[in-house]
Amino acid sequence: MIDLHCHLDLYPDPIKVLDEVVSSGMFVLAVTTTPSAFSGDVARFGGASRVRVAIGLHPELAHSRMSELPLLEHYISLTSYVGEVGLDGSPDFARFSKEQRKAFDLALRSSALRGGRLISIHSRGAAAEVLESLEAHPEAGVPILHWFSGRVSDLKRAIDRGCWFSFGPAAFRSASTRSMVARIPRSRVLTETDGPFAMNRDVPLRPTDVALAEAALAKIWSAPASEVRSQLVENFRDLVGNVKSGHAHDKSGRSYFDH
C-alpha cells in the first residue's frame, strides 16, 4: 500500500504509527507543514526504508512562517521530496495569498534549480492559481496534486500539464470527487490519507487506512482489489522512475523506495 501524503509527525503517537507502517511494508511520504519540523522528522522517521520525509511549508501556515523561507530553500537542496506546499484560496486563508505565493514560488523555483523534485501540492480553492505557478516553473519536477477539488476544466489542464493525483478515504466520501477521479487516467492516480488531519468517522486516518481508498477506487474503476493494488504499485514505480531521471535519491544516496 502507498500513502503519498501523510503528516506522520502530527499524530500524538508518531512512533507507534511508524511501527505500523514498517510492519505493514507500506510506502509513506511523510510531509511536513513547517521547514523547522524537517530535520527532526528525518531523524525520527528517515531510518525506515520505505518512508521518506518531504520538506514543506503548508499554505495555511505560510504567512506566520515567512522567517523559515531560507530554511525551506536550504532543505530543498538536500532532499528529493517537497510537500506540503501550495496555495489555499478558501475564505480563511485567501487574505494571505501574497505570503502563500511567495512560499510556493520559492519551493518551485528552488526545486527547478536543483533539477526537479517530487512535490505534493495543496490546491484547495486555488487550483487555477496552482496550475499557473506550475506552468511558470516547468522544471520544478513531478507535481502531485493532493486531494484535488478543482473544476473539471482545471483537472483537464492538470492532466495535460503532467500532474499526478493522490486521493484518500476522506476525499472519496464526496460524490463530486468520485466522479472527478473517474475522469483521471488510471496511470496518474495514487493513494494517500492526509492523516491525522483527515478523519474517518471522527477518528484520524492512519497510513494503513489507505486500504479504504483502494476499496473506493475498486468501485470507481469497477475492478477487483488485486487489479487496483497492482495498478497503484505500477503507478508508484512509474512516479518514482520519473523522479529518478532527476534526483531520485536522498542525501545518503539511497534511491527512493529501494525494494
What is the DSSP secondary-structure string of 126-193?
A: -HHHHHHHHHH-TTSEEEEEET----HHHHHHHHHTT-EEEE-HHHHTSHHHHHHHTTS-GGGEEE--
- CB atoms under 10 Å from CB of 15, counted, come to 11
Angle, helices 69-76/97-113, rounded to nearest 10 degrees: 20
User: Among 37-45, 82-90, 108-116, 234-242, which window interacts with Mn ion (CB under 5 A)?
Assistant: 82-90
CB 115 → Mn ion: shortest distance, Å? 25
Indicate the DSSP class of residue 255.
Answer: B
Residues 83-122 interacting with Mn ion (rule: CB under 5 A): 84
CB 5 → Mn ion: shortest distance, Å? 6
CB 30 → Mn ion: shortest distance, Å? 11
Nearest residue to Mn ion by CB is 194
Q: Is 194 in the site for Mn ion (CB under 5 A)?
A: yes
Q: Is 60 in the site for Mn ion (CB under 5 A)?
A: no
CB 75 → Mn ion: shortest distance, Å? 18
For Mn ion (CB under 5 A), the number of binding residues is 2
Return all residues near 38 (Cβ < 8 A) that are at least 6 apart.
32, 53, 55, 56, 71, 75, 79
Residue number, 7 or 114, with CB nearest to Mn ion: 7
User: Among 8-16, 48-56, 78-86, 180-188, which window interacts with Mn ion (CB under 5 A)?
Assistant: 78-86
CB 7 → Mn ion: shortest distance, Å? 6
User: Among 64-72, 174-182, 188-196, 201-209, which window interacts with Mn ion (CB under 5 A)?
Assistant: 188-196
d(CA 77, CA 169): 33
Point out which residues bind Mn ion (CB under 5 A): 84, 194
